[in-house]
Structure formats: C-alpha cells, structure tokens
Amino acid sequence: MQVLPRLKEYKGAEGKFIFPVGTTKIEIDIVENGCFVNAFLGVYNDYFRVTGTKLSLEEGKALIKASKISSDKKEYYEIVIKEDIINIFYADKFGLRNAIATIISAVEQDKKTVYIKCASIKDYPNYSHRGVLIDVARRFVPMDEFKMHIRSMGLCKYRYLHWHLSDGVFSYELKCYPEVNDLAVRRLYTQEEIKELVSYAESFGIESIPEIDVPAHCSYLIKAIPDIFCDIEEPRNTEKPISKYVACVSSEKTYEVITNIFKELCEIFKGEYFHIGGDELYFYDLEYTSLFPEWQNCRRCKALAKQENLETDLDIYIYFINKINKIVKSLGKKTIMFNDAVDISKPTKLDKDIIIHFWRVAMEDRGPVDGCSMQGFLDQGFKVINSYFPETYMCDFVREDKLKVWTPTSSPKVENGKENQIIGSELCAWGVHNHFDYSMLPILCYFSDRVWNSEDMEESEEIDRAFVRQTISHKIDAVNIFDILNSRIPPLNDYDKFFPDKVNKDLEKVEQAMTYLTTLYVNGLGEVRAIKGYITVLQELRNQIRKEQNLPMVDTTLWGFISESKLKKEGKMR
C-alpha cells in the first residue's frame, strides 16, 4: 500500500480492515484535536456513498480510535491497522489530520467491500511550508473547482493556500475602496465567497495566505486612487511615457490605502502570514511599454531619498518594504515577499524577519542580477520558501522527470549547512491555462511528495495505484489513464493534451477507458470536474488514433460520447 505523499515508514501485514455497512465512529481522545476530521469524513462519505458505508464522529461503533502521543516531530502520526480496529496515534491536531488523510487516500473498493490493508505506519513531513499558489487575479476560479483543489490539497496534506489576489487588477470586491471594483475586467469574488472558501480550506487544516502585490503591479489601484501616484516633475530622466505601474513610496496616501486594504483582508484571512508580493519592480528591457518606478522623477520621492540617504531605486524599494512590514506586523501577521527586486549580492537593510519567497534571480534590466542567488538570502539569515520557477511553476515548467528528483534544497542547491532555513515550497498555478482541467490534480499529488519527502520518487506498482486512487477512483479495477498516456504530467502548453510519442495507441483500450470514466462522471463518483478533463484528453487521443487508422470520426464532445455510450442518466448529471 502507498499514498501520496509517500509514507516514511510502512510495514504491511496480512489481512484487511473492512468498513462495515452502516456507520463507523471515529473516537478521538481529545475532541478539539479532531477539528479537521469532519471535512475528511465528508469526502469519504461522498466518494463511497453507493457502498452503504459511512464515517462519523458522533454515532456508530467505534472501530477507529485516535490517541495523542508525544513526539519531537511536528505533524507526526502513526497508524496501526488490524482486521478489527484502526488505531491512530498523533502528536498534534495536524498529525491527526494527516492520519485521517492517509486512511482515506489508502482505502480501496472491490465489487463487494470497502477496505484498507492491514499495516503499521509512521509518518511526518520534512518541510513545514507545503503550499499551492492559485492566481485568482488573472482567472476567476469557479467555486466548485476551487473546492475540488482544496479537497485534493487536504488529502495530499498541504498546509497553505496562497491567494494571488492582485496583479494590476484586483480579483475581489473591496469595500474600503469600491472605486477599484468599477475597473474590474472580469467577475470578482464577493467577500462572502472568499470567506466561504477560506473557511472550507481551514476545515481541511489549510491556512489561506492573502497576497496583495506592492509597490509594483499597482496600475489599476493608481487609476482608481490617483493620490497614491508620484508627483512628477519635468524634465523626466527618460523619454518613455509616464509609467503608472508602481505606487509612490513617499505619499502618506499610499500607506493609508495599503493599510486599509490589508486590514480589510485580515478580517477574512485569520492565519499567520500576509504576502506582499514585491516582485517585478521594473521592466527596462521592454522597449514599447513603460513599467518602472517614477521615483527619480517624483518631487516627494527625491526629497525622501535625500532625507533618508537612499541612493538608488533599489534602496528606496527596501525602505518601502520595511515600512510595509511594520504595517503587516501591526496587524498581527508575518510578512512574506518575493525575492527578485532585493539586491542580495551585498549586505541588505531588508528586515530579517521577512520570509523570502524565492522564485528566480531577475533577468537583465528587470532587477539586480550580479552576485544574487537564493543562497545569498540564506547566508544573510533569512528563512526561505523555495518556489524556483523551473521546478515549481505548473503553468509552463513542471516536468515529471525533473520533479521526481527535486526537493526544496536541491535546486537551487543549498550550501553551507543552511538547509534548515528552507521552510518549504509552493506549487505555483499562474495565469489562465486550459490544461489545469486535467493537469492540476496529478501535479498536486506529485508535488505533495516533494515537499514531504527528501528521497527521490521511485516508480512502483503501488505508486501507480496511489495516483489512480487520488485522482480518479478508489475501485481496484479503476482505469489507469496514466498508463495509457505513459505520463502523469501532461504537456503544459494548452494545445497538446498528451505526448504523441509516448501514448498507448490501442484504440480498444482507450475507448474502454473513456467508457469507464464517463460512467463515473454521469454518476457523480469521484472528482467529476477532473474526470471530465481526463475524458477530453482521451477523446483527443481516440480521434488521433482513428484518423491514423482511416476510421470515421465521431462526435468529439463529451456529451456526444455520453450519448454514444448510452450512459447518460436522467437527473444524475453533475
């Protein structure tokens, strides 16, 4: 038996624990430590509703018992599975959460029973910060899709959901500055919707981290509230048009607006952290656009620079970030920021209590380059979240062969014994991409292992089964779409749904898989949004095979295949 992320220690035994028809009670010694359990029981009860088995904290025979133990490892848990009882031993409430997630992820279903194999398990994470960034600034993620991602994150034992809430535009309705809402270019989340999603994530033990990007990426905020822009004096030091991309760092209005926006969000996001962005301060390499600070052309900013002895824009930037850090701390939060505008090649005046979110060294003319590195932040004492873009950006860059051997300390390579300052990583789902429909769940599963374990992921039949269970179905006869595609992570380019040179072109096998997945879909069994995505992948493969074999084309829509397979059932569509 195996789950994702992989277990640290697993010893199999003979026999199975069979979940009885009816309600099984989970008995917890300290009730408040079970604060995350109900959400997972809801997942189980939905997945296995047709089997007649159910899990509950309130009723039924107590066949699963949880007891607190001492451990020097956070989130630690043990599970002993016997034929007549499952015993959980946990170090803290997150350890109990992780144990329940493991049990649900490991459950299998045959034609007659729902069961889990007898075993002894000991497990804990190597990294505390295990997160996923979702870019809601560029894409409105529907509520049901968002909740699907949250459920999968919970089962994969993630701890943090990073909301990229602003990127020029804002993704939600501001009550403190409604004039910003009037500039919206797409559907905005209401604050009630965000509260619902934050609460839903919290029920799975996932803390939501809000991000408002400052001082750059502020064009819409500047347009709505002009007083946060610089007081330009002529002649300017450039022939390019005035850039209304970066907020004025010397205007008190800027700090007033930022404080009010942050305060409003802190009423919704109750967690420990606040992300202030801080990335992409300038793009001097872009010839036909103006994306840079106007601080050197601002009367107020020039006076501030003289008063504070700030020689360059990067010095002014550090001054600004430290002031924003004070605002964040006054709200009871810890600051996280992106790294690329900090010149770490020399001793920095940046506050050391800020957590650095590393994603890359800046490109030429987009930030400091020479002598800059992730190691530089570690050597100067910062804690770091490593989201190095070639390894963690699932929008374009994640590759299976690289991911299976990557860890947060391996690339960029950590030296000088600074590994303990790397607190983890975040998988980053930037932008608007069609492939998220079928790539998100398998990548979530894959990446969860890389922030839980330090050892390379080795292939095995048990790993294959874990991927199928956690992305498609817990049935032992479930189709393995990844076996047909010969890849768990698809091309991330939005036009190729599979690797043509890798796929299994057995038409009968492909169509059988489509029929199986469609049966799950129309009956609402499993994560139907993801299953729908997998069906579209197989449809494209099927039609390519038929074309190569000079066979007639068929209806390429999902609904056409459902009709063709005679599987559409009245009233059961989800």
Euclidean distance between CA atoms 166 and 217, whole angstroms: 8
The predicted structure's pLDDT at residue 65: 98
| Residue 326 CA to its chain's centroid (Å) | 27
Query: 168: closest CA among 289, 58, 10, 303?
Result: 289
The position carrying tokens 């190729």 is 496
For domain 9-123, give the fold: Chitobiase; domain 2 (3.30.379)
For residue 515, pLDDT over 50 is answered with yes
% of residues, the chain, pLDDT over 90:
95
**Residues of CATH 3.30.379.10 domain(s) within the chain?**
9-123
What number is the average pLDDT over the span 140-151? 98
One-character DSSP codes across 92-135: SHHHHHHHHHHHHHH-EE-SS-EEEEEEEEEE--S-SEEEEEE-
Euclidean distance between CA atoms 54 and 407, whole angstroms: 37
For domain 129-227+260-285+318-450, give the fold: TIM Barrel (3.20.20)
* Digit-coded pLDDT (tens) for 83-105: 999 999 999 999 999 999 999 99
CB 498 within 8 A of CB 487: yes
What number is the average pLDDT over the span 68-77? 98
Q: Confidence band (pLDDT; 50, 70, 90) for 569? A: very low
| Residue 169 CA to its chain's centroid (Å) | 21
Handedness of CA 525, 123, 201, 336 (dihedral sign): negative
Euclidean distance between CA atoms 361 and 372, whole angstroms: 6
What number is the average pLDDT over the span 21-35? 97
Q: Confidence band (pLDDT; 50, 70, 90) for 565? A: low
Q: Characterize the bridge pairing of strands 384-386 and 77-81.
A: unpaired
Looking at residue 189, what DSSP letter applies?
A: B
CB atoms within 10 A of CB 96: 28
Residues 6 or more apart in contact with residue 191 via CB below 8 angstroms: 172, 173, 175, 268
Euclidean distance between CA atoms 386 and 374, whole angstroms: 8
Query: 211: closest CA among 172, 256, 255?
Result: 172
* Digit-coded pLDDT (tens) for 51-65: 999 999 999 999 999
How long is the chain? 574
The predicted structure's pLDDT at residue 558: 58
Q: Confidence band (pLDDT; 50, 70, 90) for 562? A: low
CB 404 within 8 A of CB 324: no
Query: 90: closest CA among 125, 64, 116, 122?
Result: 122
For residue 573, pLDDT over 50 is answered with no
Euclidean distance between CA atoms 206 and 132, whole angstroms: 10
* Digit-coded pLDDT (tens) for 188-234: 999 999 999 999 999 999 999 999 999 999 999 999 999 999 999 99
One-character DSSP codes across 72-85: SSTT-EEEEE-SS-
For residue 557, pLDDT over 80 is answered with no
Handedness of CA 422, 424, 430, 435 (dihedral sign): positive
CB atoms within 10 A of CB 262: 22
b/e code 63-73 from CB counts within 10 Å (16+ = b): bbebebeebee
For residue 572, pLDDT over 50 is answered with no
Q: Confidence band (pLDDT; 50, 70, 90) for 554? A: confident
What number is the average pLDDT over the span 156-163? 99
Tell me the C-alpha to C-alpha distance, in Å, between residue 99 and each of 75, 87, 173, 310.
9, 10, 38, 52
**Residues of CATH 3.20.20.80 domain(s) within the chain?**
129-227+260-285+318-450
For residue 403, pLDDT over 90 is answered with yes
% of residues, the chain, pLDDT over 70:
97
CB 208 within 8 A of CB 193: no
Which tokens go with 244? 């209304």
Average pLDDT, the chain: 96
Which tokens go with 354? 């800020």
Question: Which residue type, as a one-letter code, is found at position 211?
Answer: E
Euclidean distance between CA atoms 115 and 329, whole angstroms: 48
Q: Confidence band (pLDDT; 50, 70, 90) for 494? A: confident
Q: Characterize the bridge pairing of strands 114-123 and 9-18.
A: antiparallel
CB 224 within 8 A of CB 166: no
CB 265 within 8 A of CB 202: no
